[in-house]
Amino acid sequence: MKEMSKKLKVAVIFGGRSGEHEVSLESARSLLSVLSKDKYEIFPVGISHEGVWYSGEGILEKMKAEILDGLSEVTILPDPMKAGLFILTSGRIELITKLDVVFPIIHGTYGEDGSLQGLLEMAEIAYVGGGVLGSAVGMDKGVFKDVMKANGIPVVDSLLFNRKEIESDQERIVEQITSKFKFPVFVKPANMGSSVGITKCHNPSDLLEGLNEASRYDRRILVECGINAREIEISVLGNDLPLASVPGEIQPSRDFYSYESKYVDGSSGLLIPAPLPESIESELKKIAIKAYKAIDCAGMARVDFFVEKDNNKYYLNELNSLPGFTQISMYPKLWQASGIDYGQLVDRLIDLALERKTDHDRSEHNFRSSI
């Protein structure tokens, strides 16, 4: 048990190599502004577009400006005997500090997909959010849909292709899509978030452009039929006994909830709580928790639904295991409306990370047969 007076050493890792790099910087800015210096010793770590890890004075502003002068290269080693943050200098590796918790706030590939979580598992450092399995399955929209179907959770009809199929025979792919779905359809990279690479397609020409756009960001491409639906989101918090927040509704200012309407002009509206029949709200909360448990998620997630405007029929769209985390992002705003403010939420997530690490440490990793 740690002494009450001892501060937890917390590394906040942000940036990264995905198309959501800039979103991650804004999430980190909000997070760092509320982490209590009375409770935590804080070590900001930024990962560049090229994948280099940095730390140092003014790192957030330098990462945003892409001016990295004066920063030091750092790393975390996959060695449980060296569970800390190391500086790389003059061809040597030197320990900066041991770490109690890592708060990874990298959205998308190489941060939300299980890659970073695998490193932290190897190092045996507690970290906020889902583990390798929950992160990887939540990230891949195609695999996630299959798991939801296996658990009896309704999802929108879709087709999945890989980049080589699209590049080698676009005509056949377009024909396959148009024979199954009416326009409009949505084309998405299977492993990306923040609406990066998503296109709403109204005709075959749009569809070709959408397939090529999505192929820029992932080798697996998902095509979904379009439905006339409201976009409802629910935040989930917890480990083995998770809780669901009040639902919120997105009111897109554009043709759909695009990257620009989320982060560039901020023009989309949010309704919190979402105006839903009590029975539908209750059912969506149950399904959000069921989906969360089905992929063994932990810490936090935002679960997104479609609710058809004509008949209130609902579909689970996706689960984001490291959702946008600025103070105006939907995940913390839903918890604020549910009675947990932003600062309390951050503290709770760190507590959950430590709780999960303690539970993980109960499992034996060596086996010696008595035979």
Match domain 137-153+228-359 to its CATH number in 3.30.413.10, 3.30.70.1350, 3.20.20.140, 3.30.470.20. 3.30.470.20
- pLDDT for the residue numbered 108: 87
Q: Which of 59, 57, 56, 73 is CA-nearest to residue 15? A: 59
Q: Which two tokens stand for residue 78?
A: 């996959």
Measured on CA atoms in the order 349, 350, 355, 359, is the torsion positive or negative? positive
Q: What is the pLDDT of residues 68-126, one digit of tens each?
A: 999 999 999 999 999 999 999 888 999 999 999 999 999 988 999 999 999 999 999 99
Q: What is the pLDDT of residues 43-52, one digit of tens each?
A: 999 999 999 9
Q: What is the pLDDT of residues 262-293, one digit of tens each?
A: 544 455 689 999 999 999 999 999 999 999 99
CA distances from 364 to 288, 317, 361 (A): 31, 37, 8
Assess whether pLDDT exceeds 80 at residue 24: yes
CA distances from 109 to 115, 120, 161 (A): 8, 16, 19
- pLDDT for the residue numbered 90: 84
Determine the average pLDDT of the residues in 309-331. Answer: 94
- pLDDT for the residue numbered 1: 40
Assess whether pLDDT exceeds 70 at residue 197: yes
Measured on CA atoms in the order 227, 228, 229, 230, is the torsion positive or negative? positive
- Residue 299's beta-bridge partner residues? 238
Instruction: Determine the 3-state secondary structure of 261 from DSSP.
Output: helix
Give the DSSP letter string of 220-248.
EEEEEE---EEEEEEEEEESSS-EE---E
- Is residue 270 within 8 A of residue 251, CB to CB? The reply is yes
CA distances from 219 to 148, 191, 222 (A): 22, 9, 10
Alpha carbons 229 and 232: distance in angstroms, whole number = 9
Alpha carbons 228 and 98: distance in angstroms, whole number = 51
Query: Which of 167-181, 243-257, 312-326 bottoms out in mean pLDDT, i.e. has the lowest?
Result: 243-257
- pLDDT for the residue numbered 371: 66
- Please state which architecture CATH assigns to domain 158-225: 2-Layer Sandwich (3.30)
Alpha carbons 229 and 330: distance in angstroms, whole number = 18
Alpha carbons 328 and 248: distance in angstroms, whole number = 13
Q: What is the pLDDT of residues 323-342, one digit of tens each?
A: 999 988 999 999 999 999 99
The percentage of residues in the chain with a pLDDT greater than 90, rounded to a whole number, is 86
Alpha carbons 106 and 84: distance in angstroms, whole number = 19
Which H or E element spans position 344?
helix 342-361
| Domain boundary assignment for the chain | 8-127, 137-153+228-359, 158-225
- pLDDT for the residue numbered 194: 56
Determine the average pLDDT of the residues in 241-265. Answer: 73
257 versus 151: the higher-pLDDT residue is: 151
Determine the average pLDDT of the residues in 214-236. Answer: 95
Instruction: Determine the 3-state secondary structure of 104 from DSSP.
Output: strand
Assess whether pLDDT exceeds 70 at residue 250: yes
Specify the pairing of strand 126-127 against strand 101-104.
Answer: parallel
- pLDDT for the residue numbered 21: 92
- pLDDT for the residue numbered 276: 97
pLDDT averaged over every residue in the chain = 92
Query: Which of 143-152, 188-197, 244-253, 273-282 bottoms out in mean pLDDT, i.e. has the lowest?
Result: 188-197
CA distances from 36 to 32, 58, 78, 347 (A): 9, 18, 28, 9
- Please state which architecture CATH assigns to domain 8-127: 3-Layer(aba) Sandwich (3.40)
Q: At what angle do helices 278-294 and 141-150 cross, to 10 degrees?
A: 110
